[in-house]
Structure 1
Amino acid sequence: MGKGADPDVGRIIMKKFYKSFSVAGFGLLRQRHLEQLEKIEADAIGLLRELAVRHGASISNIKSQLGQDLFALFQLGWKRNGFFVEFGATDGVLLSNTYLLEKDFGWTGILSEPAKVWHNDLQQNRTASLDFDCVWVETGKEMQFSVVEDAELSTLKDYVGSDSHSASRKAALTDTVRTVSLCDLLERHNAPKSIDYLSVDTEGSEYEILRAFDFQRYTVSVITCEHNFMPNREKVHALLVSNGFVRVYEGLSRWDDWYINTQHFNG
């Protein structure tokens, strides 16, 4: 749990997560077990939503798909005036992991989104610093970007077949985008050396981006990273563990992995 988090609530949530593992077991889930697991997860998210409201959140501003915003705030003790980095940000509202943080908790940060279809709405919806380059291993490269009808599934062309959404990208249009490394993105927008929350969702290129990141130059307290159950998931896990992170709440995060920096939370 984060500094300032309610330990009693944390224990309740952990019990629910442990129960979800016992329900799932190690084999294939039966339909009845799936229903039980979904109920347990819904209860845990419901508890976090209640806590968020107690700390000043508006239910209508909770936009994340799996509760990533609630997880980050809970781990950080419902911190106000923190700093986030989110990519890809879409329109800044749809499935956003940082909208709640900005609107109700006074956070600032950086939103990166290379898909042009989102840019106008993103500028209207958010007050955070915006960047329209594509976060990648290096800065200044021009790469092909596949834009699909379900625009939140758009990704670099090299990764269109990297996950379970590959069929949705078969009719993708191609655009050319410029790249920026994560470190250069932070420097470009004068980010603090301590990042409270990093949200990573690039539809396949997450490992390469994080592998190129200098974790000694910038410290990060909480990371959520989409994996879609693809092989790179464990590469990301090994990389983050080697940099002092631990994966938590797998019973809740589903196709995301959620990490906390052990130095921050044990220090």
Structure 2
Amino acid sequence: MIIKKYIPCPIRNILNRIFDFFTWDQWCTRSWSQEGEDMVLRRIFEKKKNGFYVDVGAHHPKRFSNTYALYQRGWSGINIDAMPGSMRLFRKWRPKDINLELGIGKIAGSFDYYIFNEPALNGFSSQLSEDRARKDNPYYIKDVIEVDIFPLRDVLDKHVDGKSIDFLSVDVEGLDLEVLKSNDWSKYRPRYVLAEMLASSLNDIVTDPVVQFMNECGYVIYAKQVNTVFFRNKDSLY
């Protein structure tokens, strides 16, 4: 049952949760990701109890999270998001994780960060942000601030501490390739990498610059959700 759409959204969400609670189904699996990415990850790592992840563009400890389902199973990792104040909830709900409030990019420095009325759209891409603000939709830019950016390799050098990375999730609103290029792929080679590729189809992705770069780094396409592509390290056993 889905509560009628004419009921205001916050109330509708609460009513749906109450209904779900009283109609529990033993075959139901909960997902926190936006497009079910965490369900794919649970399938990939179904026998692994304490893995390690890196989530760039983590956004929220639960909402649209590719890592929360595994955190509940005993995993831990590094959450990174550039939104000022974003790590307050991570420190509250994800205390076992390393929670970092900063941006990731190819070159260290301070760059303009576009803040929307929908925080999931926040990012450093001026073109994508301005395009979204011009469209006929309810989203708009609230503010533009300067945020510090660091290459991913530098952040991992400081915080990974010899751990093997099971998967890297990157979702930074149009600049995923820049984040991927900022890693040291000879040193940090996650078993799987998730990258956002907006409005991509199975026919398009082979020629996409992200796919070409990941192929050069020794990764192959493994799976795809609506806007997320999974890459597998060719050297990985699973």
Q: TM-score range by the shorter chain?
A: 0.7 to 0.9
Indicate the SS of the match to 1:186. helix
Match of 1:177 among 135, 140, 147: 147
**Could you state the TM-score of these two structures normalised by the residue count of structure 1?**
0.69
The whole-number CA distance in structure 2 between the counterparts of 1:78 and 1:63 is: 20
Deviation at 1:249, TM superposition (A): 2.8
Indicate the SS of the match to 1:142. strand
Aligned position for 2:231: 259
Deviation at 1:192, TM superposition (A): 3.1
Identity among equivalent pairs (%):
23
Deviation at 1:101, TM superposition (A): 0.9
Decide whether aligned partners of structure 1 residues 221 and 180 sit closer, same or farther in structure 2, where only a CA change above 3 A counts.
Answer: same
Q: Which runs of 5+ in 2 are unaligned?
A: 1-25
Number of residues of Structure 1 aligned to a counterpart in Structure 2: 206
Decide whether aligned partners of structure 1 residues 112 and 196 sit closer, same or farther in structure 2, where only a CA change above 3 A counts.
Answer: same
Alignment pair present for 1:215 and 2:169? no
Indicate the SS of the match to 1:90. coil
Amino acid at match of 1:209: V
Amino acid at match of 1:107: W
Aligned position for 2:212: 238
Deviation at 1:162, TM superposition (A): 8.1
Q: Any conservation in 2 of the 1:223–1:259 contact (CA below 8 Å)? A: yes
Amino acid at match of 1:131: L
Deviation at 1:67, TM superposition (A): 2.0
Amino acid at match of 2:51: G
Decide whether aligned partners of structure 1 residues 183 and 112 sit closer, same or farther in structure 2, where only a CA change above 3 A counts.
Answer: same
Amino acid at match of 2:49: R
Aligned position for 2:65: 96
Q: Which runs of 5+ in 1 are unaligned?
A: 1-52
The whole-number CA distance in structure 2 between the counterparts of 1:208 and 1:166 is: 24
Aligned position for 2:20: none
Aligned position for 2:9: none
Decide whether aligned partners of structure 1 residues 171 and 218 sit closer, same or farther in structure 2, where only a CA change above 3 A counts.
Answer: closer
Indicate the SS of the match to 1:155. coil
Q: Any conservation in 2 of the 1:164–1:228 contact (CA below 8 Å)? A: no
Indicate the SS of the match to 1:210. helix
The whole-number CA distance in structure 2 between the counterparts of 1:225 and 1:132 is: 20
Deviation at 1:241, TM superposition (A): 1.0
The whole-number CA distance in structure 2 between the counterparts of 1:227 and 1:136 is: 17
Deviations 1:166-199 (A, max 9, x none): 6366433111111111111111213435310111
Indicate the SS of the match to 1:73. helix
Matches within 5 A, 1:10-49: none
| Higher-helix-fraction structure | 1
**Could you state the TM-score of these two structures normalised by the residue count of structure 2?**
0.77
Amino acid at match of 1:258: F
The whole-number CA distance in structure 2 between the counterparts of 1:238 and 1:162 is: 27
Indicate the SS of the match to 1:264. coil
Indicate the SS of the match to 2:156. helix
Aligned position for 1:66: 35
